Amino acid sequence: MSDSKIHIVLIEDEKQIRRFLTAALEAEDMVVYESETGKQGLITCATRKPDLLIIDLGLPDMNGLDVIRDVRSWSEVPMIVLSARTQEHEKVAALDAGADDYLSKPFGAAELIARIRAHLRRRQPSNAQADSIFQFGEVSINFGLRTVTRGEEAVHLSPLEYRLLTVLARNAGKVMTHQQLLKEVWGPNHSESSHYLRIYMANLRQKLEREPAQPKYFITETGVGYRLVT
């Protein structure tokens, strides 16, 4: 087993789904450690120190949200939730608990693998690169100089627009809930002021998207929040 392989802990109580996912991920040269209960998954995470965690919310011994909170209290490992629960408030609860992404069952293996690779890419530039240049499409953010360019042209952003953009950029690929964005950009007193967020997201799309009405990078997760796709 090569240390360069991606190591994943899969916490899922349904045997058929575990087999399906393990086969799909191993076909991509990933190493999968299976757990069928929350407690077993927590032990496996602590001992294996995986690159990414995949977790089902409906576990037989404990609430998946409690597993997410436990892991997030000591690790920054990316976590992708798989669940048959499709209510928006349940997605928000999982993301607010510390998960990075959410896929509703049924889902395609190709989409899951694409999400996994996106989250692992997001972790790589977290130190030196994230403090200097971040790029997506024609847009370039220079964190050191606090400048934004699109192609060869400088883009003027207000302080709040720039702050919103940098929060999304530093969490690229991750679903950010409305509440998370409002707290980080406007502060805790504005956590319910979602109309501010809609206005400033529209501004960013107008200034940075080629087709603002059909955004390619600033994606709306309906009823949940936003994601910057790179």
| SS3 call for 140 | strand
pLDDT score at 127:
47
Here the contacts of 219-224 (C-beta below 8 Å, separation 24 or greater) are 221/91, 221/175, 222/88, 223/88, 223/91, 223/92, 224/88, 224/91, 224/92, 224/95, 224/102, 224/175, 224/177, 224/178
Give the number of residues written for the chain.
Answer: 230
H or E stretch covering 104: strand 101-104
Predicted pLDDT at 30 = 94
Give the torsion through C-alpha atoms of 142, 125, 26, 94, to 10 deg: -80
CATH of domain 7-123: 3.40.50.2300
140-149 pLDDT, tens digit each:
999 888 899 9
Two structure tokens written together for 220:
């709306």
| Domain 7-123 identical in fold to domain 129-228 | no
The DSSP symbol for 34 reads E
Cis peptide before 106 (omega within 30 of 0): yes
Per-residue pLDDT of the chain (230 residues), as tens digits, is: 346 789 999 999 999 999 999 999 999 999 999 999 999 999 999 999 999 999 999 899 999 999 999 998 888 899 999 888 767 788 888 988 889 888 888 888 998 998 898 888 766 544 444 458 899 999 999 988 889 999 989 999 988 899 899 999 989 988 999 988 988 888 766 666 678 899 999 999 999 999 999 999 999 998 899 999 98
Query: Could you tell me how far CA 179 lies from the centroid of its own chain?
Result: 15
Q: How high is the pLDDT of residue 190?
A: 64
Q: Where are the domains of the chain?
A: 7-123, 129-228
Per-residue pLDDT at 124: 56
Global pTM reads 0.70
The per-residue pLDDT for 1 is 39
CATH number of 129-228: 1.10.10.10
Q: How far is CA 185 from the centre of its chain?
A: 18
